[in-house]
Structure 1
Amino acid sequence: MKIGNIDNMKLYKKIMKNGLLSIILLVAAVSYGQSLEQKNSENFTVQKGTNIAHWLSQSGRRGEERERFFTKEDIKTIAAMGFDHIRLPIDEEQMWNNQVERHEDAFQLMDNCIKWCEEYNLKVIVDLHILRSHHFNAKEKPLWTDAREQEKFFDLWRDLSKALSKYPNSLVAYELMNEAVADDHESWNKLLKNAFAAIRELEPERTIVIGSNRWQSVETFDELKVPENDKNILLSFHFYTPFLLSHYNASWTNLKDYKGPVNYPGILLTEKEFNALPENVKPSVKQYVNVKFDKEVLLELWQKPIQKAKSLGLPLYCGEFGIIEKAPKKEALAWYEDMMALFEETGIGHANWNFKSGSFGLVADDGTPNQELIDIITNKK
């Protein structure tokens, strides 16, 4: 999940200046999606999924509380909704101690979850979400400067492979790391290459999910160096654009004090609306004034990952997308409808952020469903 105030405004402005033709992009994207489904029909394939957040990742729950938070009944519900997979974030501190010795209770929960998914015909992407040496929003990230931390990262994947290699390649895929944030793109490309090689020594045909540096942003996707001559790769991007809508009034961002208007589709924030805002919030939203967002703009923003995947003949996946519950309801649902339409038209697999959470979830922590959102995500509206 993206935490900082990161958006794709530079890319947006470049697109609008160049005047790309949406209809041409859509035709190209649709043909990409059709050829993609044909090429990968016998491998690990996913289309519609949801993230299982705040269970084995980004959570202080332990013991019975953690066991109760996510259960087999949740997997049964997810399958009944029509999803075909889950993305399962896990954190180093939940799964291992500092010596890369397993916390067996956490591994048992992961194992249980995969077996539940197998029972209900769901596939699983195991996502190494947060490391002790790398958090996507931390100021200090020793992973990029300490060779010992890099080797430890490889060891984590060697151990995960030992634990999960018993599962069929068609059931489980591995996501190397969530939202890498290195100072330069080559640092991530090099680390990715070495981690990829460590897994390939043990599992030559397991599908591995990779994304670009800096939050798996669409803007940096052309900087991603993909291991060559390997078709068991799933390229992944995350999408929370426009940030003013997706992280509206989010307490952990610089939008925490913003409770003003946001419009979608259309001009996010008009000049008149901006001028009426309190002075203290204007700096955080100034970049959105007179900026238009709609379905066509969203598609245009996806072009870098679409073209990268197309050029390599690899499948493309949106591993995270979503809008905070605080956002204006009408605008949020309109955005979700456009996103789901684009996924359908392009054939891009996807997983919303997330299944169970009071801020982004399809259901609240207590299980109360957000039925309007569920109907849109599952195409039942």
Structure 2
Amino acid sequence: MNRRNFITNTALTATALSLAGTQAWATPQPKNKLPQWRGFNVLDFFSPNPAATRDATTEEHFEWMHDWGFNFVRVPVAYPYYLDIDRTKDIKPDDTYKINLKAVEQIDALLEKAHKFNLHISLNLHRAPGYCINAGFHEPFNLWKDQAAQDAFYHHWNFWAKRYKGISHDKLSFDLLNEPAMREDMNNQLSKSSAVPGELYRKVAKGALDAIHKENPERIVIADGNEVGNKVIPELADLNISQSCRGYMPGAISHYKAPWAMKDPEHAPEPKWPGQVGDKYLSRTMLEEYYKPWGDLVQKGVGVHCGECGCWNKTPHKVFLAWFGDVLDILNQHKIGFALWEFIGDFGVLDSRRTDVAYEDWHGHKLDRELLKLLTKHA
């Protein structure tokens, strides 16, 4: 090969390698199929008893969320809230079909208020026929074992799909079931629990998906992670269903001294972040390992959102913020949005009743400004 041909071939090879490198560099990385929504849970319909509800979320509350830079509201609903039943007696399977339209109109009104401020609503059945992560209401059957419970579950989602058929998927999504698990006794919160068998979860989720998409094929549908929201559900990956993780790991931080989450809350080891807590060293590395399967799911083209996150008010504020900063940062690295549990209340940015916070007065509420700054940093 003469010198001229050598130079020409070398130049062509270099150009080809350069173009190949440029092309590889320019190849877009998979992005989260879901928008990176950021916002709050509001608990207007969280209780199965309408008489035990909290103060209503107002237009002004939604305006604050919008003005602070948030765009998402998850609405956990207990299905008995909107039933027309005799609440002095245990509910029967047939009662689960007795929908009270006046109660439903209250949910309609909440959606309308939020949509005035361009907030996306995720409607979630926190308690569904035959299952809830919490006790406090007698379930007449078991969602995972009884076809009658599954049929009622599909009926409720078909009802909501019909009612909100005309609302754009940009404004409304459906979150099928809060924090599923296979529990031995549906009416005993402390009974033994485990993951729902994957194929069973698929059957129930697909039944609800079909009931929803029968009315509106564009509706975004989300399934909470298995084993109380913690585990990716590979059996759903080929369905048109996104998945929702949680921002509570480790519970020694997020639920310190919580009586509903710990067997001996008064003797729980003092939380540190990072640091040795009980028999475990808690650190950012453990969070990165915990969220890796969720990040991998995003890379596979499945939408992922963190439907709940936050920390009860007994954890020292500095520890909470240090830990939560890592949680939000890791979620952001995976392009996963989040919803704080809750807006107003013990986990919230307002009126959390912490004893170690210098609250700021905010229109009669006590605002945790440091927490808000951390949230808005990622909003």
TM-score normalised according to structure 1 size: 0.76
**What letter is aligned with 1:228?**
D
Q: Residue 213 of structure 1: which of 193, 204, 226 is its match?
A: 226
Query: Structure 1 residues 250 and 126 mapped into 2: Cα distance closer, same or farther (>3 Å)?
Result: same
Aligned to 2:365: 367
Q: How far apart, CA to CA, are the structure 2 residues paired with 1:125 and 1:373?
A: 23
The answer for unaligned runs of 5 or more in structure 2 is 1-25, 85-94, 183-195, 353-363
Q: How far apart, CA to CA, are the structure 1 residues paired with 2:304 and 2:237?
A: 15
Aligned to 1:335: 323
Query: Structure 1 residues 325 and 149 mapped into 2: Cα distance closer, same or farther (>3 Å)?
Result: same
Aligned to 1:379: 377
> Would you say the 8 A contact 1:246–1:322 is kept in 2?
yes
Deviates more, 1:247-256 or 1:132-141: 132-141
* C-alpha deviation, 1:32, in angstroms: 12
Aligned to 2:344: 356
Alignment pair present for 1:195 and 2:208 = yes
Aligned to 2:274: 265
* C-alpha deviation, 1:354, in angstroms: 1.1
Taking the TM superposition and a 5 Å limit, the aligned residue runs for 1:241-320 are 241-252=249-260, 253-258=262-267, 260-267=269-276, 269=277, 288-289=278-279, 291-311=280-300, 313-320=301-308
Aligned to 1:95: 82
Q: How far apart, CA to CA, are the structure 2 residues paired with 1:135 and 1:59?
A: 11
Q: How far apart, CA to CA, are the structure 2 residues paired with 1:378 and 1:32?
A: 31
Identity across aligned pairs (percent)? 23
* C-alpha deviation, 1:195, in angstroms: 1.3
* C-alpha deviation, 1:202, in angstroms: 1.6
> Would you say the 8 A contact 2:30–2:298 is kept in 1?
no
Which of structure 1's runs of 4+ aligned residues deviate more than 4 A? Answer: 31-34, 137-141
Classify the secondary structure of the residue corresponding to 1:129.
strand
Aligned to 2:170: 170
> Would you say the 8 A contact 2:31–2:298 is kept in 1?
no
* C-alpha deviation, 1:294, in angstroms: 2.2
**What letter is aligned with 2:42?**
I
> Would you say the 8 A contact 2:328–2:378 is kept in 1?
no
Query: Structure 1 residues 368 and 61 mapped into 2: Cα distance closer, same or farther (>3 Å)?
Result: farther
Task: Give RMSD over aligned pairs.
Answer: 2.7
**What letter is aligned with 1:120?**
F
Q: How far apart, CA to CA, are the structure 2 residues paired with 1:352 and 1:229?
A: 27
Taking the TM superposition and a 5 Å limit, the aligned residue runs for 1:2-41 are 35-36=30-31, 40=33
Query: Structure 1 residues 46 and 101 mapped into 2: Cα distance closer, same or farther (>3 Å)?
Result: farther
Q: Which is bigger in relative contact order (C-alpha 8 A, separation at least 6)?
A: 1
Aligned to 1:283: none
Q: How far apart, CA to CA, are the structure 2 residues paired with 1:249 and 1:174?
A: 32
* C-alpha deviation, 1:108, in angstroms: 1.8
Taking the TM superposition and a 5 Å limit, the aligned residue runs for 1:231-246 are 233-246=241-254
Aligned to 1:148: 148
> Would you say the 8 A contact 1:56–1:106 is kept in 2?
no
* C-alpha deviation, 1:128, in angstroms: 0.9
Query: Structure 1 residues 75 and 34 mapped into 2: Cα distance closer, same or farther (>3 Å)?
Result: farther
Flag the structure with higher helix content. 1
> Would you say the 8 A contact 1:235–1:309 is kept in 2?
no
Query: Structure 1 residues 96 and 32 mapped into 2: Cα distance closer, same or farther (>3 Å)?
Result: farther
> Would you say the 8 A contact 2:295–2:334 is kept in 1?
no
Query: Structure 1 residues 32 and 83 mapped into 2: Cα distance closer, same or farther (>3 Å)?
Result: farther
* C-alpha deviation, 1:161, in angstroms: 0.8
**What letter is aligned with 1:238?**
R
TM-score normalised according to structure 2 size: 0.76
> Would you say the 8 A contact 2:47–2:81 is kept in 1?
no
Aligned to 1:80: 67
The answer for unaligned runs of 5 or more in structure 1 is 1-30, 270-287
* C-alpha deviation, 1:184, in angstroms: 2.9
Aligned to 2:57: 70
